């Protein structure tokens, strides 16, 4: 038991360290761009980042999540071969996405578009492709309980990204929007190279039939998880769409600046997700539902406590933090920041229940519930955004998180009751 606890502490330490490095990297890079770019350009950067996360979510849900929940049931050699096939699928998907981005860049050039740079779609596609490849190596490291490798991957990414800022400062230049996207992609490619060198994944020369069989295995749960990602992405970015339509890129810049301040409040959520989900999947297989739900309560308490304490400190210190950190263009965002703090607490509550539901492989239920939640969010974001501006649009996100929490809790209680009857 002591060895198990020690291993868990090492994994948690690696998960938190990995997320701290990742979040601080995004925070520092985003803060640099916030101060360096005009407000409209910073808004466009955040719109492109939202696109990146949305497209990257397809890889997360169809490939990486399925790799995590299906892997524990396979023998060691079969699991390594399975991981290698998943990597092949991700690289093929990344190649197709990059080809699409290049085509869109060519189309913009042919149309002589002046709205954005003609290279913009290709750069977003390149950054997204590098991002999803990097995420594979991070998730694989945690699945194999080698959290240190994940820390090294994100450490290499941070060094590469901030090396770009150091070079720009050295030559007296400021990164443009296009330069920021390019360096973001390069830094992720550097991380991929390191991740590939650390991963113990065999090189396969599989037949097309083997890849098709792997695809069918992933598709069983992946089709529902991917559908969930679509509706989740629509829900999670509803505020961006509404604010961009009502206010324009400058409004997106302000909600992004406020979210930047609140980011540490949700720091533990992706960190614990990388560590917790593989363990929850194994826990369900070995110990059953009752033990799984006990772990869920502990996770929710930890996440909510961290989010609430940070949010309280941020709001108390906001008059001193905002001018120093964000500059004078963003000093009127206190109401938006409050809304993001409420969202962070709601997200903490929902995440714990969401992870255990994924460990139960209830992907269809997740898709249905998230679909209704997305519809509610889109309606509320439009109505509240029209009435209260960006603050109302963000509040709709918090409401949808609590809606999902309530429905997932009902599903788990029903499952528990059915298990008790058997």
Say what the pTM is: 0.73
Q: Would you state the pLDDT for residue 8?
A: 65
Higher pLDDT, 2 or 239: 239
Q: Would you state the pLDDT for residue 303?
A: 87
8 Å CB contact between 51 and 124: yes
Three-state DSSP class for residue 248: coil
Highest averaged pLDDT of the listed ranges 87-91, 216-220, 247-251, 281-285: 87-91
Three-state DSSP class for residue 119: coil
Span 9-23, mean pLDDT?
76
Span 179-207, mean pLDDT?
88
Give the side-chain half-sphere CA count within 13 A for 344: 30
Higher pLDDT, 8 or 127: 127
| Band of residue 384 on the pLDDT scale cut at 50, 70, 90 | confident
Q: Would you state the pLDDT for residue 223?
A: 80
Q: Please state which of the ranges 155-164, 213-222, 334-343, 413-422 shows the lowest mean pLDDT.
A: 413-422
Strands (E), 150-294: none
Residue written as token pair 């198990």: 4
Q: Please state which of the ranges 107-111, 120-124, 352-356, 398-402 shows the lowest mean pLDDT.
A: 107-111
| Band of residue 338 on the pLDDT scale cut at 50, 70, 90 | very high
Closest CA to 67 of 53, 81, 56: 81
Span 334-362, mean pLDDT?
88
Three-state DSSP class for residue 162: helix
Residues with Cβ within 8 Å of residue 385, at least 6 apart in sequence: 239, 242, 243, 246, 392, 393, 396
8 Å CB contact between 260 and 47: no
Span 308-317, mean pLDDT?
92
Higher pLDDT, 415 or 124: 124
For 265-279, what is each residue's pLDDT tens digit? 777 677 677 667 777
Closest CA to 127 of 63, 87, 182, 177: 182
Residues with Cβ within 8 Å of residue 317, at least 6 apart in sequence: none
Which helix (H) or strand (E) element contains residue 339?
helix 334-359
Mean pLDDT of the residues in the chain: 82
Highest averaged pLDDT of the listed ranges 126-140, 248-262, 323-337: 126-140
Cα(190)–Cα(195) distance, integer angstroms:
9
Q: Please state which of the ranges 84-88, 190-194, 199-203 shows the lowest mean pLDDT.
A: 199-203
Q: Would you state the pLDDT for residue 247?
A: 63
Q: Would you state the pLDDT for residue 1?
A: 47
Number of other residues whose CB lies within 10 A of the CB of residue 95: 11
Q: Would you state the pLDDT for residue 2?
A: 58
The DSSP letter of residue 72 is G
Residue 10, CA distances (Å) to 14, 22, 296 in order:
6, 18, 20
């Amino acid at each position: 038991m002591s060895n198990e606890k020690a291993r868990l502490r090492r994994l948690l330490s690696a998960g938190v360290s990995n997320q701290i490095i990742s979040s601080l990297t995004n925070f520092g890079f985003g803060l640099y761009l916030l101060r360096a770019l005009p407000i409209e350009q910073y808004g466009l950067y955040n719109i492109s980042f939202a696109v990146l996360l949305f497209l990257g979510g397809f890889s997360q849900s169809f490939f990486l999540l399925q790799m995590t929940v299906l892997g524990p049931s396979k023998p060691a050699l079969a699991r390594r071969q399975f991981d290698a096939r998943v990597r092949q699928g991700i690289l093929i998907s990344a190649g197709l996405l990059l080809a699409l981005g290049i085509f869109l860049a060519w189309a913009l050039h042919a149309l002589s578009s002046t709205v954005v740079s003609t290279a913009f779609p290709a750069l977003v596609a390149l950054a997204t492709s590098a991002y999803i490849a990097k995420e594979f190596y991070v998730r694989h490291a945690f699945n194999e309980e080698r959290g240190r490798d994940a820390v090294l991957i994100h450490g290499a990414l941070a060094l590469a990204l901030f090396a770009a800022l150091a070079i720009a400062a050295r030559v007296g230049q400021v990164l443009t929007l296009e330069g920021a996207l390019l360096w973001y992609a390069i830094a992720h490619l550097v991380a991929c190279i390191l991740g590939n060198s650390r991963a113990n994944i065999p090189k396969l020369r599989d037949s097309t039939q083997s890849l098709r069989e792997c695809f069918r295995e992933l598709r069983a749960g992946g089709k529902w998880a991917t559908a969930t990602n679509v509706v989740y992405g629509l829900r999670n970015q509803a505020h961006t769409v509404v604010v961009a339509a009502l206010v324009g890129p400058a409004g997106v810049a302000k909600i992004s600046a406020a979210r930047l301040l609140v980011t540490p409040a949700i720091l533990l959520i992706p960190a614990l997700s990388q560590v917790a989900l593989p363990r929850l999947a194994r826990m369900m297989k070995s110990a059953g539902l009752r033990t799984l739900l006990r772990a869920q309560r502990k996770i929710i308490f930890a996440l909510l406590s961290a989010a609430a304490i940070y949010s309280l400190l941020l709001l108390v210190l906001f008059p001193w933090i905002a001018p120093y950190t964000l500059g004078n263009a963003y000093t009127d965002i206190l109401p938006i920041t409050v809304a993001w703090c409420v969202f962070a607490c709601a997200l903490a509550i929902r995440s714990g229940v969401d992870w255990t539901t994924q460990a139960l492989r209830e992907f269809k239920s997740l898709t249905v519930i998230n679909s209704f939640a997305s519809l509610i969010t889109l309606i509320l974001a439009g109505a509240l955004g029209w009435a209260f501006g960006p603050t109302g649009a963000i509040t709709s996100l918090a409401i949808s998180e609590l809606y999902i929490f309530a429905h997932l809790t009902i599903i788990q209680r029903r499952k528990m009751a059915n298990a008790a009857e058997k």
